[in-house]
Amino acid sequence: MANIIDGKAVAAKVRQRVAEEVKQLAEKNITVGLAVVIVGDNQASRVYVNNKKKACAEVGITSYEYALPESTTEEELLTLVDKLNNDDSVNGILVQLPLPKQINENKIINAISPKKDVDAFHPENVGHIMIGDYHFLPCTPAGVMELIAETGTDVCGKSCVVIGRSNIVGKPMAMLLLHKNGTVTMTHSKTQNLKEICANADILVAAVGKAGFVTADMVKPGAVVIDVGMNRNAQGKLCGDVDFEGCKEKAGWITPVPGGVGPMTIAMLMQNTVTAAKK
């Protein structure tokens, strides 16, 4: 029976650490500010933004919210990003994705100053992650690394399998495991023998976006299983990419959904914002 990795508890530790750093900066008259931009009224985005505001308040970061209408043009959003790039009271800029279809997401990501890119999506920051001399890490993969560390597992030399190759989770996740000397296999929808590959993993990270995709026969006994998925099952209940009930019988450690990776993403965003302020 697996040990459950409590993301809420680990995230609380990270937020406490961040609050200390914010306090130390305040003693030097440095305030930390995060600007969050939301375009349109996507319900999921609104929930995320509210959670980010709550986390900022908890750790002492000033949050600035810019809620723009669905009809906002690309030009208008670029103008706002430019204004925030040049605003000294703003250390981090986060544009909540997805954006309405008239706006090119890549153009917006590229317009954010790499020094204020607390999501670590800018190509310059992605390049730094690739070569290992980064300031910021994408929030979700960074949170996953904290959760793995919490289990006491040393990544060095372990067989690590990542399911999913997105720019936001899969690719940077593989790089972070590699930087810790893991032996990393990246898998995706075109991978052959996926079941066998996963069943050999000491550390299995699922970020595929399909409810219950990872079943017990894909898990090595005693493995660390991290579920990045956030889906709704047939009953409309929140669930991950991992069949939790089946896999917890075999895994050594496993994250629940909700309450696993989710809280870590916002905690690491707070960490990145403080890092930006220090820089």
Q: Which of 52, 220, 248, 250 is catalytic?
A: 52
Task: Judge: domain 139-262, CATH 3.20.20.100.
Answer: no
**192 in catalytic set:** no
Percent of the chain with pLDDT over 90: 94
Confidence bin at 192 (pLDDT 50/70/90): very high
122 φ/ψ angles, rounded to the nearest 5 degrees:
-65, 140
The pLDDT score that the predictor gives to residue 194 is 97
Residue 116 CA to residue 51 CA, distance in Å, equals 20
The amino acid that residue 118 corresponds to is V
Task: Please name the residues in contact with 148: beta carbons below 8 A apart, sequence gap of 6 or more.
Answer: 155, 203, 224, 226
**52 in catalytic set:** yes
**10: helix, strand or coil:** helix
Residue 86 CA to residue 123 CA, distance in Å, equals 20
Q: What is the pTM of this model?
A: 0.94
Confidence bin at 44 (pLDDT 50/70/90): confident
On average, the pLDDT of the chain sits at 96
Confidence bin at 279 (pLDDT 50/70/90): confident
**195 in catalytic set:** no
Look at the block and give the residue holding tokens 């372990």. 158
CATH code, residues 29-112: 3.40.50.10860
169 φ/ψ angles, rounded to the nearest 5 degrees:
-120, -60
Higher pLDDT, 215 or 232: 215
Q: Which of 119, 202, 227, 243 is catalytic?
A: 119
Q: Are 20 and 272 in contact (CB under 8 A)?
A: no
Residue 267 CA to residue 11 CA, distance in Å, equals 6
Residue 209 CA to residue 55 CA, distance in Å, equals 25
Q: What is the pLDDT of residues 102-144, one digit of tens each?
A: 999 999 999 999 999 999 999 999 999 999 999 889 999 999 9
Look at the block and give the residue holding tokens 């000491």. 202
Q: Is the pLDDT of residue 201 over 90?
A: yes
In the chain, which residues fall in CATH 3.40.50.10860?
Answer: 29-112
- How many other β-carbons are positioned within 10 Å of the β-carbon of residue 24? 12
Alpha helices in the chain (DSSP H): 7-27, 43-59, 74-85, 105-111, 123-131, 139-150, 170-179, 194-199, 244-247, 261-278
Q: Is the pLDDT of residue 174 over 90?
A: yes
The pLDDT score that the predictor gives to residue 264 is 97
Q: Which of 8, 16, 23, 96 is catalytic?
A: 96
Confidence bin at 223 (pLDDT 50/70/90): very high
